[in-house]
Chains A and B, each alone.
Chain A
Amino acid sequence: MNELATRLAARYGARGWHDQRADLATIVLDADRLRDALAYLRDQEGYRHLSFATAIDNIERGVFTLVYTLRSHDKGHSLIVHADIDRQKPVVDSIHLLWAQAWTYQREMKEWYGIDFPGSPRVDEEFVLEGWEGPPMMRRDFDSLAYSDATYAERPGRATSDPARHMKEQLYPEAAE
C-alpha cells in the first residue's frame, strides 16, 4: 500500500497515510485536488466503488472535513479520503460525474451542514428535513435548545426541582438562611 501512498503523494500532494486496519486506510488531501485524485483512484487504482460520503464539523479548527470512502473490490481494500474546507466558505467540487449516486450524499451534506456542491443535481432540494427553515442542524454551533425555544411552544405542566434545595426542604427545613 505504501507504493500507492507514494504515488498519491507525488501526483496529488496526499499525506498522512494511516492504516486503520489491514483492509482500511485513511489519507488526507487538499480540497482543490479532490476531484482529480478521486478520478485517478477510480480509474487507475481500482477504487471503483464510492461506498460512503459525509462531512465532519471540526469547528475547533474552523473547517469541515469531507470524508469519502472508496472501495477496491479487487484488492479487498477501502480507502478513506479526508479533505478540509473552510467553514466560512463551504464550497467544494461535485463528484456526481464520477459516481452518479454522489448527488444524494451531496444533497444531504448541503441540507445538514450547508456545504455547497455547485452543479450537483437537486442539491438545494429538501432531503429529510421537510419544511426546515433553521440553520443547518448538524453544524456544531447549531443551538438546538435556542431553536426549540424559538420554534415550538413550551409544553405546559413541566417543572423541575433542584436536588440541594429539595433535600433542604425535606431534611433540614429549620436551617437558618
Chain B
Amino acid sequence: MDIKDFIAPFAVWKRAFEKPFTVKKPIDERPGAPRYRGFHINDAERCVGCGTCEAICMNKAIDLVPVEGREAKEGDSGLRPRVDYGRCCWCALCVDICPSGSLNMSNEYLWIDSDPDVFRYTPGVDKKPWDGAELGYRRAEGYRLLDEQRVPMAELGHREAVKSFLELVQGYSRAQAEKEADRCVSCGLCIASCPAHMDIPGYIKAVREGDLDTGLRLLYETNPFPEACGRICTHLCEGACSIGTGGDPVAIRWLKRYIADQVELSAYAKALPRAEPSVGKKVAVVGAGPGGLSAAYYLALLGYEVKVYEKDGEAGGMLRYGIPEYRLPYPALDKDIGYIESLGVTIKRGVAIGKDLSLSDLRRDYHAVYLSTGLPVAYGLEVPGDKHPRVLDGVAVLAAATRGEELGLGKRVAVIGGGNVAMDAARTALRHGAAVDILYRRREEDMPADADEIREAKAEGARLIEKSIPVEVKDAAGALAGKAALFVWNEAEMVQKEEGKRPVPEAIPGALREELYDSIIAAIGQGPDLSYVTEEDGVPMKRFKPLVDARGMASPGASPKGGAIFAGGDLVNDRKDAISAIADGHRAALSIDRHLSGKGA
C-alpha cells in the first residue's frame, strides 16, 4: 500500500474552515437571476398608454384599462396596461417594444394565492412588493425593435438657402416614406392633439402599404389642405407621438406631404368622394384662407352652392401672403385650392366685403354666411416715431414679397417680434441680401415662433437680440433722413413677478441701445378687421372677436332679415394656426348643414 493512501484522507482537513460548496437546506430565499423575466413593473408616470404592449402580445394577455385619477391628456391616453398572468408566457416582447421604456419586468417569480383572479393586475398602479425592483428583465442596451431615429429629410444647406426662395425641404422618396411610416405603431395618441383630429395612423398605414389613393381620401376626410399642411403645419401631432417618448417622433407632417405630392391633381377626383346632389341652397364664405376654403370644400361636398369672397387678388389667405414660398411653394398651395375649385366652389377674387359688397347683401342673397377673415391688421410698435416711413409692417412685407414687388428693404434690417411672422420676415429679408437683427422683448425660449423657425433663422445668419424693449424710432441724421431710422431699445432683465406665471421683461434703467437700420419691420402681432360687420348683423363681440357657440354660429339670423352667420379661424380661435382654421371650417360646414337642413337642430 502506498503512503499516499494514508495521507490523502487528512489532506481534506485543510479545507475545513473554507466556505462549503454545498447548499444549506431548507432553502428560504430563491432569488431569480438578475435578468429573470418575472412579474411586470411599469413606471406609470413615464407610460403614455399607447397600447403597443397590448398590440405585440402574442397571447392577448394585456388589456389597456382606465386608471382612477389619471385623465387623458395631450400625448397620454390615461390608460395603462393590465396583465393577465393566466395568459402571459413571459416572452417579454412587451418590454422590448415599449416606446417609452416604462414597462419592464422584475425578477420576482414567486406569488402564491388561492384566488385565481388576483393574478391580473395593472403594474405601477396596483401596488406590488416588486414595484421598483432593481433587478429583472430590461431591454438590452442598444436593442430596439423600433427605430429611434427618423428617416433624415434632405434640406437645402443654410448657405444655399438664403440665396433664393427655393423650397428648403425636399420631401421623401417612396423608399424613405415607407421606412418612416414603418416607425409608426398606430397607437393613435396623436389624433386628439390634432385640431382637425385627422386619422393619422390611417394615412400612415396607407403610406406603408403603398395605397396612396386611400391615404389621400383619409387626408381629405378632415383636411382639404394636405399639400400646405404637409409643409407648414404646426404639427402638434408630433409632440404627442408615442415614438417620441423614446426617440424622434414619427415625421407625420412629411408623410402627409408625401401622399399629396405623389398623387397628381388630375388623379384626385378618382380617389376622393364626389359631391352630393345639389340641395338647392347657397352659402357665402368671406375670406379665401385655409379656414374659409375648408368650409367651402365640405359644404360643396354636401351639395351646397358656395361662393367665396376674397379681397386679395389670389386665394389662400395667410398661406399665400404670409408664408414665404421657400416654406410653401405656390404650386403646392395652388394644387390644394385647385381641387376645391374643381368641385364647383366659386372664388370671387378681389371682392372686399364692406367695400364692394356688404355683409347684409350676403345675408340677403345666401342662406348662411361663414366669416373667416383672419387677422390681417398688424399691430403698430406703439412707440414715439413709429410712423417713420422706414417702419414697415411684417404682414405687408410678406404680402409684397408674394406679389413679387420690389421690397427695397435696404442692407440693414431690424425685425421686431418673436413669432412666426417675425421669423418669416427676417428670413425673407435675408434672402434679399440684408443683414438682419431680430429684436424680441423676452428670451429666445419665450418666443412664440416654432423652434425650427427660430433655429433656421439664426442658422441663415439672422442675429437674435433678446430682452430688448422698443423705446423709440428716431429719424436718421443728415443725408439719410427719411431713408433710414435709428431704432432705440432698452435692455431688459427677466423678473419673476408672480409665482407660477411666466417671468416678465423689465427695463434695466439707463441701458439704452440704438442701431441704424434701413428698414424696421414690426411683427408683434395682428388683429382682425371687422369693419364690415355692422350692428344690424347681430354678431355679438367680445374683445374684438365674434362670439360663437359650440357649433361655430355667431348669429342665428332669421328671414326675411337674412341668413345665419357662422365664424371661425384666426378670427375666433386662440390657436391661430392653419390647421385650427381648417378644423373650424370643417365644423362650421357641418353646423351650417345641420342648421339649414333642420337635422339635429
Show the binding face of A for B, using Cβ within 8 Å: 144-145, 148, 152, 155, 157-164, 166-168, 170-172, 174-176
Residues of B within 8 A of A (CB): 49-51, 54, 58-60, 63-66, 71-73, 77-79, 84, 86-87, 89, 117, 120, 187-189, 191-192, 197, 201, 550, 587, 590
Report whether A163 and B587 are in contact in the complex, using a CB–CB cutoff of 8 Å.
Answer: no
Which single member of A148, A161, A171, A172 contacts B79 (CB below 8 Å)?
A161
> Are A145 and B58 in contact, with the CB atoms below 8 A?
yes
Q: Are B86 and A166 in contact (CB under 8 A)?
A: no
Contacts of B73 in A (CB 8 A): 171
**Minimum distance in angstroms from B78 CB to a CB of chain A:** 7
B55 to chain A minimum Cβ distance, whole angstroms, is 10
Q: Which residue of B lies closest to A137 (CB)?
A: B89
A158 to B49, CA, bound (A): 17
Give B551's nearest chain A residue, CB to CB: A174
Closest Cβ–Cβ distance, residue B583 to chain A (whole Å)? 9
Cβ contact within 8 Å between B120 and A155: yes
Decide if A164 touches B191 in the complex (CB within 8 Å). yes
What B residues does A159 contact at CB under 8 A?
63, 65
- Cross-chain pairs A/B with CB under 8 angstroms, 15 sampled: A144-B58, A155-B87, A155-B120, A157-B120, A159-B63, A160-B54, A162-B64, A163-B79, A163-B188, A164-B189, A164-B191, A164-B201, A166-B79, A168-B192, A174-B550
Question: How many angstroms between the C-alpha atoms of A115 and B302 in the bound complex?
Answer: 65
> Contacts of B192 on A, CB cut-off 8 Å?
164, 167-168, 171-172
Chain A residues whose CB sits within 8 angstroms of the CB of B49 once the complex forms: 163
From A155, A157, A164, A170, B78 is in contact (CB under 8 Å) with A170
Tell me the bound Cα distance from A168 to B192 in angstroms.
6
CA distance A148 to B65 in the complex (A): 22
Contact of B197 among A145, A160, A168 (CB under 8 A): A168
Which of B64, B120, B590 is most buried by chain A, counting CB atoms within 10 A of its CB? B64
* Distance in angstroms between the alpha carbons of A160 and B86 in the assembled complex: 16
B50, B59, B550: which has the most chain A beta carbons within 10 Å? B59
Are the C-beta atoms of B77 and A167 separated by less than 8 Å?
Answer: yes
Q: Do the beta carbons of A163 and B120 come within 8 Å of each other?
A: no
Q: Are A166 and B89 in contact (CB under 8 A)?
A: no
Residues on the B chain within 8 Å of A171, using CB: 72-73, 192
Separation in Å of the A173 CB from the closest CB of chain B?
11
Select one of B59, B66, B117 contacting A161, CB under 8 A: B66
- Knowing A157-B117, A176-B590 are in contact, say whether A164-B58 is a contact too (CB < 8 A): no
B54→A148 contact, CB < 8 A: no
Q: Is the CB of A158 within 8 A of B58?
A: no
Q: In the assembled complex, which residues on chain B have CB atoms less than 8 Å from the CB atom of A145?
A: 58-60
Q: Cβ of A168 and Cβ of B191 under 8 Å apart?
A: yes
Chain A CB count within 10 A is highest, among B60, B87, B120, B192, for B192
Q: Contact check, B64 vs A148: say whether CB atoms are below 8 A apart.
A: no
What is the bound-complex CA distance between A175 and B192, given in angstroms?
10
Q: Are the CB atoms of A155 and B188 closer together than 8 Å? A: no
Residue of A nearest to B240 (CB): A167
Q: What total count of A-B pairs have CB within 8 Å?
A: 77
B58 touches A170 (CB 8 A): no
Q: Which residue of A lies closest to B54 (CB)?
A: A160
8 cross-chain pairs, A with B, having the tightest CB-CB distances, nearest first: A164-B188, A163-B77, A160-B63, A170-B72, A167-B192, A167-B72, A171-B192, A176-B590
Contacts of B89 in A (CB 8 A): 144
CB distance from B243 to the nearest CB of A (A): 14
CA distance A148 to B89 in the complex (A): 11
Q: Which residue of B lies closest to A167 (CB)?
A: B192
Look across to chain A and name the residue whose beta carbon is closest to the beta carbon of B189.
Answer: A163
Q: Which chain A residues lie closer than 8 Å to B191 at the CB level?
A: 164, 167-168
Residues of B within 8 A of A160 (CB): 54, 63-65
Alpha-carbon separation in the docked complex, A30 to B593 (Å)? 74
How far in angstroms is the closest Cβ of chain A from B184?
13
Inter-chain contacts of A167 with B (CB < 8 A): 72, 77-78, 188-189, 191-192
In the assembled complex, how far is the CB of residue A171 from the closest CB belonging to chain B, in whole angstroms? 5
**CA gap between A170 and B77 in the complex, in Å:** 9
Given A170-B78, A172-B197, verify A163-B64 contact (CB < 8 Å): yes
**Would you give the shortest CB distance from A162 to chain B, in whole angstroms?**
7
Q: Which of A157, A163, A175 has the most CB of B within 10 A?
A: A163
In the complex the two chains form, what is the Cα distance from A170 to B66 in whole Å? 11
**Closest partner residue, chain A, to B62 (CB atom):** A160
- Are A162 and B117 closer than 8 Å at their CB atoms? no
Chain B residues with CB under 8 A of A163: 49-51, 64, 77, 79, 187-189
Chain A residues closer than 8 Å to B187, beta-carbon distance: 163-164
CA distance A171 to B71 in the complex (A): 9
- A138 vs B539: C-alpha distance in the bound complex, in angstroms? 71
Kindly list chain B residues whose C-beta atoms are within 8 Å of the C-beta of A162: 51, 64, 188
CB of A168, distance to nearest CB on chain B (Å): 7
Residue of A whose beta carbon sits closest to that of B199: A164
Among residues of B, the one whose C-beta sits closest to the C-beta of A169 is: B72
Chain A residues near B54: list those with CB within 8 A. Answer: 160
Residue pair A176, B587 in contact (C-beta under 8 Å): yes
- Besides the contacts A145-B58, A155-B84, A171-B73, what 14 more A-B pairs have beta carbons closer than 8 Å? A145-B60, A157-B117, A158-B84, A161-B63, A161-B64, A161-B65, A163-B49, A163-B50, A163-B51, A164-B191, A164-B201, A170-B78, A174-B550, A175-B197
Q: Which residues of A contact B87 (CB under 8 A)?
A: 148, 155
Once the chains are docked, how many angstroms separate the CA of A46 from the CA of B87?
A: 46
In the complex, A144→B86 CA distance in Å? 13
**Neighbouring B residues of A148 by C-beta, 8 Å:** 59, 87
CA distance A158 to B62 in the complex (A): 9
How far is B194's CA from A171's CA once the two chains are assembled, in angstroms?
A: 12
Least Cβ distance of A131 to chain B in Å? 17
CA–CA, A170 and B117, complex, Å? 29
**Minimal beta-carbon separation of A18 from chain B (angstroms):** 22
- Compute how far the CA of A152 lies from the CA of B49 in the bound complex, rounded to whole angstroms: 28
| A155-B86, A175-B197 given; A166·B78 CB < 8 A | yes
Of A164, A168, A174, the most chain B CB neighbours within 10 A belong to A164
Q: Which residues of B contact A170 (CB under 8 A)?
A: 71-72, 78
Is B63 a contact of A166 with CB atoms below 8 Å?
A: no
Chain A residues, CB < 8 A from B66: 161, 166
Residues in B with CB closer than 8 Å to A168 are 191-192, 197
In the complex the two chains form, is B59's CB within 8 Å of A144's CB?
yes
Chain B hits for A158, CB < 8 A: 63, 84, 120
Expressed in whole angstroms, the Cα–Cα distance for A158 and B83 within the complex equals: 10
CA distance A175 to B77 in the complex (A): 17
What residues of A have a CB within 8 angstroms of the CB of B71 in the complex? 170
CB distance from B135 to the nearest CB of A (A): 26
Q: Complex formed: what's the CA distance from A152 to B72 in Å?
A: 34
Bound complex: CA A167 to CA B49 (Å) = 10
- Closest approach, in angstroms, between the C-beta of B551 and any C-beta of chain A? 9
Least CB separation from B196: chain A residue: A175
